[in-house]
Structure 1
Amino acid sequence: MKVSELARQAEVTAETVRHYTREGLLHPVRDPDNGYQLYDHADLERLRFIQRARTLGFSVAEISDILAHADQGDSPCPMVRDLLASRLPQIRARIRELEALAARMEQALTAWAEMPDGTPDGHSLCRLIESFPDASHPTCGHIAKETRS
């Protein structure tokens, strides 16, 4: 099957198929008559595997390693478990960071609800942002609020 047919069957774009081919994750054969890349059912299954691995957060490089193990007849499962086990604490930390960011954004929107818009005047670029406390300098935010009030 051609790129477009593989993409349709896997429910991805043709560019996705081309990308994974360039990355060496898919191995089509060339049609000697027209030079088209031709994929078979094994490529479709491999592409579906790649998509499932991507939904679990694996990078293209990690998927390449997983596939290389499998292609050599070795079980990639221990490596997969180790990768996820090491990644999960990072993901949980990132979620906490994003929740804190969302809380700061909500705080800012609440604080800014009644503030007038300002025009840059050489001393101020955006009063909304400048009025918000600087996380790295906790006292700066209070000074900025006092001088602008």
Structure 2
Amino acid sequence: MKVAELARAGGVTAETVRHYTRQGLITAQRDPGNNYQRFDQQALTRIKFISQARLLGFSLADIRQILEQADHQDSPCPLVRDLLQQHLPKVRERIRELEALAGRMESALDSWQEMPNGVPDGNSVCCLIEGLPREAITKTSPTEHLHGRTS
């Protein structure tokens, strides 16, 4: 299969196929007649596996580890369990951070409901944002509004 054919069969973009190839997650052979990359069924199997693993939140680095174990005929299942156990608390924390952000956004929208639009005057950019009490933005951390998350 050529890049576009593999992409179509795997439900990804051609650029994704090229990226996974550069990352060493899938391999191709060169067609001696035209020097095009040719992918086999194993590449398609891996593309589908990578897509499924990405849906579970695995990073490409995680996936590389999993594939390396499988390539050495070692069961990657214990590694997969360990990685998910490590990632799950981080995901739950990120959900809490996003819920807090959503709450701040809703609160801001509520407080802006009756406020008039302002025009920048050299001392102000947007009166809506600048008019919010700092405590309303930084409920959990003074740097949260800068990074979109708590430290």
Q: How does the TM-score come out when normalised to structure 2?
A: 0.86
Partner of residue 9, structure 2:
9
Q: 1:7 to 1:117 in 2, by over 3 A?
A: same
- Aligned-partner residue type, residue 74 of structure 2: D
Matches within 5 A, 1:18-57: 18-57=18-57
The yes-or-no answer on 1:106 pairing with 2:106 is yes
SS in 1 for 2:134: coil
- Aligned-partner residue type, residue 131 of structure 1: G
CA deviation digits over 1:3-48, x for unaligned, max 9? Answer: 1111111111111111100110011111111111111111111110
Partner of residue 146, structure 2:
none
Partner of residue 125, structure 2:
125
CA deviation digits over 1:77-129, x for unaligned, max 9? Answer: 11111111011011111101101111111111110011011122233221101
Q: Which runs of 5+ in 1 are unaligned?
A: 139-149
- Aligned-partner residue type, residue 34 of structure 2: N
- Aligned-partner residue type, residue 88 of structure 2: L
**Structure with bigger gyration radius:** 1
- Aligned-partner residue type, residue 66 of structure 1: I
Q: Which runs of 5+ in 2 are unaligned?
A: 141-151
Partner of residue 144, structure 2:
none
Q: Distance in 1 between matches of 2:57 and 2:5?
A: 26
Q: Distance in 1 between matches of 2:18 and 2:89?
A: 33
- Aligned-partner residue type, residue 53 of structure 1: A
The structure whose RCO (Cα within 8 Å, separation 6+) is larger is 2
Q: 1:129 to 1:20 in 2, by over 3 A?
A: same
Partner of residue 91, structure 2:
91
Partner of residue 141, structure 1:
none
Q: How does the TM-score come out when normalised to structure 1?
A: 0.87
Q: Distance in 1 between matches of 2:34 and 2:50?
A: 28
Q: Distance in 1 between matches of 2:121 and 2:102?
A: 30
**Over 4 Å off, 4+ runs:** none
- Aligned-partner residue type, residue 127 of structure 1: C
In the alignment of these two chains, the number of paired residues is 138
SS in 2 for 1:124: coil
Q: Distance in 2 between matches of 1:106 and 1:42?
A: 48
Q: Distance in 1 between matches of 2:21 and 2:61?
A: 13
